[in-house]
Structure 1
């Protein structure tokens, strides 16, 4: 990133008792969030057992309603717990208890890709943001990092929470029709996708609660707190690089898939997160031979913008579907929408032809794909 907004004076130390109290709070928050996430995923998956009516719109709508009735209360509970967690953390750090901010509205967490926004993105009137973070240094940074001007943050509309879950049904139909998956394989994909959405919904509620509380408190910023004990392989490179710096308090925490980081506020020279992360970061910085640290120095971490869930962390050397790409399927122009579908379908068709030649029983899928491609080409040609 660019030059820091400010360089605080040397770190002011908290007492051992304060650090111990904060560690207990962070661990309790992480464990309660883990339990709530697992419960939300299990509750979301329960109605899917034995469900086969993927082509019945009324049955799918009923399924989504049942899922939301169990997931949303858990989102609210996660937000309330986070409100209490940050209120108690502020008390430990500053000696003063701020007024609780109150739980966020869990129905206003996902952005909506409107036709107008899609057209603006495609015309270049509005642009999503992609910023490469600094590589890790010899020691964690205590500087407050500047915030990018998020291109999709302002004047946004919120997506109906049901829409994310409706895509599970869309995915099942796509898998069986376009990809030629068996019903069993498509069902397993639907379960995985549904679990990911439920997990993300809990995370989004926690993240928005972080922003509400931190904005209301007299904090300088925040630092993300690593939790290697909650991950099978320890903190990932994305989280380590992201935990190496302090962010402005009003910024949304950049997410990535299955992230288990929490946050703690920074008050001027008081940065408890750098102490709590210390052992984990020190192990990385002082790894034998420097191999681990050098590997992390090579990790390119981008803070990018997701059209639906906002700031995310992505590997700089890996492709991710940008809001501009997504916008093609929401554009007001039917020709643009159909071209986007065609561009996605043609490689699938070539892959299916290869699989049929290899002996896979996908002749029906191949015929459907060919007919759909021909239909799209005719429609696009007529519109030109």
Structure 2
């Protein structure tokens, strides 16, 4: 699909928010000097408001974008009503952000307990922090998308537009299919794909870009040495699936991946 001026403006605005939030978060992490409990508490106290503000900015940008896109499609309807508290903060994962942003520090402590030097341990914590932050910013977008399109009767489907400087194979494959708007847009941690609403007189079917899908199949076959090219829809499901993550909802992953849950936590003896 050809990108419109509206698409480009929205994409640039969201990327600007990502860059600003991630820059401030990463600088806060690097400037800690110590990663002990007191520093972790101070980090969360000063940094969580920055992340929440970024989530709310993205939710507002996404709402405005989808409203304008709806009008550009020739559709009319009442102005969207959206409570930002329902698509940001704790609403994204069902977990207190204070607990979520303790995880990068746990990453540091775990690495240190395994004998890693401090610089390696803090680098691992920084990578975990960046992934969590990116995921939360993207969740603000996907939750807003679902809430807004639920109020837009003229929209039935959406597709994924690739926006990253580098796009993983999972997102590439997902971009060849259409989704029903009632389904939360599947992501993977750190995903930055954009939703694009679609109106259609008929259901085009799950796969909307077979040429691209075939190219990806060829690349997978070249990389892995094997691939069943018969029955593309079946092949698609073998390569990429949407699993349900306990906090962030549908997550893209290769078959065989799974996420830890309550059953994986050993009980005290």
Q: TM-score, normalised by structure 1?
A: 0.59
SS in 2 for 1:256: coil
List per-residue Cα deviations over 1:67-96 (Å, max 9, x = no partner): 112111111011000000000111111342
Q: Report what 1:291 is aligned to.
A: 218
CA deviation string 1:277-319 (max 9, x = no partner): 98xx46525759x8349768555111101111111111114x3
Q: Kindly indicate whether residue 232 of structure 2 is the aligned counterpart of residue 304 of structure 1.
A: no
Q: 2:134 touches 2:189 (CA, 8 Å); kept in 1?
A: no
> What is the aligned partner in structure 1 of residue 121 from structure 2?
186
Whether the 8 Å CA contact 1:305–1:322 is kept in 2: the answer is no
- Residue deviations 1:124-146 (CA, integer Å, cap 9, x gap): xxxxxxxxxxxxxxxxxxxxxxx
Describe the SS at the equivalent of 1:337. Answer: coil
Correspondence for 1:108 among 78, 90, 97: 90
The reply on whether 1:208 has 2:143 as its aligned counterpart is: yes
Which residue is equivalent to 1:87?
A: 67
Task: Report if the CA contact (8 A) 1:303-1:313 is conserved.
Answer: yes
Q: 1:230 aligns to what SS in structure 2? A: coil
Contact map agreement 1:76 1:104 (CA 8 A) in 2: yes
- Give the Cα–Cα distance (whole angstroms) in 1 for the partners of residues 197 and 31 of structure 2: 45
Ranges in structure 2 where 5+ consecutive residues have no aligned partner: 222-226
**Does 2:130 match 1:195?**
yes
Equivalence for 1:70: 50
Matched, 1:50 2:31: yes
Which structure has the bigger radius of gyration?
1
Quick one: higher RCO (CA 8 Å, sep 6+), 1 or 2? 1
Cross-structure match for 1:246? 178
Mapped partners of 1:73, 1:66: distance in 2: 12
8 Å CA contact 1:30–1:260 kept in 2: the answer is: no
How many residues were matched structurally? 254
* Structure 1 residues 29 and 97: CA distance shift in structure 2, 3 A: farther
The answer to whether the aligner puts 1:231 opposite 2:211 as a matched pair is no
1:119-138 equivalences in 2 (<5 Å): none
The alpha-carbon deviation at position 251 of structure 1 amounts to 1.9
Aligned-residue offset at 1:36: 1.1
Contact kept in structure 2, 1:223 and 1:247, CA below 8 Å: yes
Contact 1:211 1:252 in 2 (8 A): yes
Question: Is 1:269 the counterpart of 2:201 in the alignment?
Answer: yes
The reply to whether residue 174 of structure 1 matches residue 101 of structure 2 is no
Name the SS of the counterpart of 2:184 in structure 1: coil
Distance 1:285 1:252 in 2: 22
Contact 2:59/2:84, CA 8 A, preserved across alignment: yes
Equivalence map 1:1-80=2 (5 Å) = 23-55=4-36, 57-80=37-60
Which segments of 5 or more consecutive residues in structure 1 lack a partner in the other structure? 1-18, 112-157, 330-335, 339-379
- Secondary structure of the residue aligned to 1:109 is helix
Q: Evaluate the alpha carbon distance shift between residue 28 and residue 183 of structure 1 in structure 2; reply closer, same or farther with a 3 A threshold.
A: same
Query: Which of 250, 258, 268 is 1:320 aligned to?
Result: 258
Q: 2:267 aligns with which of 337, 341, 366?
A: 337
